[in-house]
Amino acid sequence: MNESESLKNEPMSELAGSAVESAPVAETEKPPAPMWKKTLNFLFKFGVSAGILTYIVCTRDIKWQDFKLVKPWCIVAAFFAIYTQLSLTAVRWFTLLRAAGVKCSFREAFSLQMQGMFFSQFLPGGSVGGDVVKAGILATRTPPGGKFNVVFSIFVDRLCGLGSLLIALLGTCLICHDTIAKFPEGARHGLLVMCAVCGALLCVVIFVFFSDLLYKVKFFRFFLDIADRITKDTFKRAADAVALYRRCWKLLLGWVIATTLIFFPVLSLPVWVMANGFEGAPHRGFLPCLMISNVSQTIAAIPGSFGGTGTRDIACAEMMTAMGFTDTESGVIPILVTMVTLLVALSCSVFFIFDRGKRAPKT
């Protein structure tokens, strides 16, 4: 039996461990950024988010009593919809951890997912800040040799979510092309450009899962070897991890399909529920609201705001205006969705406060 055949018979967890253990680990860590830089970053992103929200309120002349036009049960429904989507994401990450050979209970993965939600909304780093906290906490509980797989599982989870979001965005825009044709010229052209960029980005996401094959091409291997010498085999370790995950392509494909067809429709329920629970407003179809939500989530993924707050709201507001929503609706609904999202994130702090294992690393 040759070497390639023997590798095919190795269990996933053993391959994951050997891929990391065989790679050298950097002895020095990058020093943390100075406090003044962190403070400026915090203030900048907070200012961007606050400025956009202020712009929405002022340009649409939103008053406090306008928020009372949304029926209370819509707020409750939006809260549980966001929590449901967050729980489903925890299940997805848990299966990716297990596929990489990381020993972690579902209770622990669920708790860390909720903690990540809290820090992603209240840390200047946004969603990335939440991922850093998740990786840091779980890495302290992981034996040497498995820490890289912990971090990479979060990266793969993000790729699955991003790829699914791009597919959902392109799909809903294609289905709702008649609605888009009625948009003002500027909004229509802007959305078309966005779809083109998202299509290119989707190709990049797919390419990442085959990036390890570059080592088999002599031209690329030359430059990758240089990069590995500088970064102490970081690219090689990432390529090994990509190869491991590609072996369970059915799992990845299943989660991409489930995230596209289930996760993001659930996440769009707050917009749809509030649009139909607005007093005096006509009935709104689900697909247009799904497109609004997908566009908003895509814009929120762009760095520069405080956890997506502000950028998500202005995208949602402009999409609603283009679809014929009133100024009051297009101003109140996005802000209420953000308020509910922040409320969910705040409730997730309970998982951090009562996490009994965060001060007791497993060895």
The pLDDT value recorded for residue 305 is: 74
Grade residue 146 by pLDDT with cuts at 50, 70 and 90: low
Contacts of 162 (CB under 8 A, 6+ apart): 201, 205, 301
Asked whether the predicted pLDDT for residue 321 surpasses 80, the reply is yes
SS3 309: strand
Asked whether the predicted pLDDT for residue 18 surpasses 50, the reply is no
d(CA 153, CA 46): 29
Contacts of 325 (CB under 8 A, 6+ apart): 275, 281, 333
The pLDDT value recorded for residue 134 is: 82
The pLDDT value recorded for residue 244 is: 83
d(CA 269, CA 343): 16
The pLDDT value recorded for residue 69 is: 93
Candidate ranges 28-37, 286-295, 344-353; pick with highest mean pLDDT: 286-295
d(CA 153, CA 113): 13
Candidate ranges 57-61, 127-131, 217-221; pick with highest mean pLDDT: 57-61
For 105-142, write each residue's pLDDT tens digit: 899 999 999 998 988 887 655 555 678 778 788 777 76
Between 13 and 243, where is the model more confident? 243
The pLDDT value recorded for residue 17 is: 42
Per-residue pLDDT, averaged over 323-331, amounts to 94
Q: Which residue has the tokens 């793969």?
A: 156
Beta bridge partners of 278: 70
Phi, psi of 141 (to 5 degrees): -100, 5
Q: Rounded mean pLDDT of the chain? A: 84
Q: Is 42 exposed, middle or buried (0-12, 13-18, 19+ CB in 10 A)?
A: middle
The pLDDT value recorded for residue 53 is: 92
* Long-range contacts from 257-261, C-beta under 8 angstroms, 24+ separation: 258/88, 258/92, 259/92, 259/160, 259/161, 259/164, 259/165, 260/164, 260/167, 260/168, 260/171
The pLDDT value recorded for residue 7 is: 33
The pLDDT value recorded for residue 290 is: 96
For 172-208, write each residue's pLDDT tens digit: 999 999 999 999 999 999 999 999 999 999 999 999 8
The pLDDT value recorded for residue 238 is: 84
d(CA 362, CA 73): 43
The pLDDT value recorded for residue 231 is: 85
The pLDDT value recorded for residue 145 is: 62
The pLDDT value recorded for residue 191 is: 93
Per-residue pLDDT, averaged over 293-316, amounts to 88
| Percent of the chain surpassing pLDDT 90 | 51
> Residue 334 is encoded by which pair of tokens?
């996005």
b/e map 226-262, b = 16+ CB within 10 Å: eebeeeebebbbbbbbbbbbeebeebbeebbeebbee
Between 246 and 361, where is the model more confident? 246
Q: Which of 7-16, 165-174, 347-356 has the lowest mean pLDDT?
A: 7-16
Q: Which of 10-14, 192-196, 251-255 has the lowest mean pLDDT?
A: 10-14
Q: What global pTM score does this model have?
A: 0.84
d(CA 353, CA 26): 32
